[in-house]
Amino acid sequence: MTQTQHASRHLIIGGGSMGLAAADALVRAGAESIQVLDAHCPPHSHGAHHGETRLIRLAYGEGSGYVGLAEQAWAGWQQLEQETGASLLLPCGVINMGPSDVPFIQQVQASAREYGLPLTVLAGDTARRRFPGWQINTDWTAAVEHRAGVLWVERIVAAWRARIERARHVTLTTNASVIALEPLQGGGATAVCADGRRFTAERVLLAAGQHIEPLLTPLGIHVPLTRVRKTFAWFDADARYQPDCFPGFSLTDPERGIYYGFPDLNGAGFKMGRHDQGQTVQPGVPLAPFGDHDEDMAELQQVIDRYLPGVGALRHGAVCQYIRTPDEHFLIDEVMPGLVMAGGFSGHGFKFACALGDTLADWLHTGTRAGSLAGFTLSRAACQPRAGRE
């Protein structure tokens, strides 16, 4: 096999949401000699960025430490819309529902109070009257975020790719499957591709989703990332589920689980998925299609039957993957000199992509980590190997 060597100042492995966001930010910062590699051709369905839409929320139930990053991202998405002229953000709001003592619901309210975010808190019976598409429990709480909504993810990835391909000093190489990393003595690494090509850089960002763990493990770096098969589906729905009267949502049911969903956008149908649970899958193993597991449909149908009176027949289902850490917070760290990894975003990461892209680009360009990333290091307790485990 003939080996071809390519050298650059900055190398990004993974041309998905975080990788392309970082590359775009490097271009805007005036960086030179940037190489981006992707095993496929983004946007595509092999990573975690497909499925058309994601929610963006600011009154953050996962912890108030994310709010500043979310506000930065909200401004960034608006700026990207202005610069590209594309419709990328639909500010239809998000409603968070569940029993009032659920920690997620409590943290949404705490985040709003701490940061002065617009939030309307409704009792369950009031929410049912205001949003007739919902028949939630009357003793639940519904927290409506007004500065929130839906991101068109595949449009965003395509917009970043188009800007990168027009830019000088950056090269996007598709169908470049990286199978190994070789650290350089002075910092950085060489990425070895399956076809023999080699890409070397002194500053490397590894943002390759399910491939992060297989690439770092041979280097003696333990990263506790788990790949989880997830499902979501679109359904027929009546006029109660249009975006002018039905926000995006998160729903926490102590018996049925945690769910998220979207209004009927452009006639595509009502979309929902389950956030918790799922099936663990090893990296590289194909995901079983929607319907192969009995719970794929059953877990969605139980929520529809209980809470969503105007949602009807299944149109189609799909599968995706989450790449999760044990505590479900992000994992962003310089794991070797000149080698920064960014992973564990699945489930709630895409909304931050433009802000994290700026931060990761600055880290690559200057060598200095922003303080906002301090809580995402590999050294935190949740990411340490547990006793009795290999």
The span from the CA of 97 to the CA of 109, in Å, is: 12
Active-site residue, from 6, 271, 365, 369: 271
Tell me, yes or no, if 54 is annotated catalytic.
Answer: yes
Alpha carbon distances (Å) from 380 to 223, 375, 376: 12, 8, 8
* Annotated catalytic residue within 351, 354, 359, 365: 351
Question: Catalytic residue among 275, 329, 348, 369, which?
Answer: 275
Told to judge if 271 belongs to the known catalytic residues of this protein, a careful annotator would answer yes
The residue from 10, 50, 230, 348 that is catalytic is 50
Catalytic residue among 54, 229, 240, 329: 54
Helices 353-366, 17-28: inter-axial angle, 10-degree rounding: 60
- How far apart (Å, rounded) are the C-alpha atoms in residues 54 and 382? 26
- Is 46 a catalytic site residue? no
Catalytic, 230? Answer: no
Strand order from edge to edge, sheet including 53-56: 53-56, 149-152, 89-90
Note whether 342 and 388 are within 8 A (CB).
Answer: no
Phi-psi region of 166 (alpha: psi -120 to 50; beta: other; left: phi over 0): alpha
Give me the catalytic one of 53, 200, 252, 359. 53
* Annotated catalytic residue 53: yes
**Which amino acid is residue 345, in one-letter code?**
F
Task: Report the interhelical angle of 153-166 vs 17-28 (nearest 10°).
Answer: 40
Picking from 44, 79, 57, 8, the residue whose alpha carbon sits closest to that of residue 349 is: 57
CB 146 within 8 A of CB 120: yes
Catalytic annotation, pick one of 193, 320, 354, 383: 320
The three state secondary structure string of 343-375 is ECCCCCCHHHHHHHHHHHHHHHHHCCCCHHHHH
Phi, psi of 190 (to 5 degrees): -110, 130
- Per DSSP, helices labelled H in 116-259 are 124-130, 153-166, 212-216
Token pair 């949602």 is at which residue? 311
Cα separation, 364 vs 362, in Å, equals: 5
Catalytically active residues, by annotation: 50, 53-54, 271, 275, 320, 351
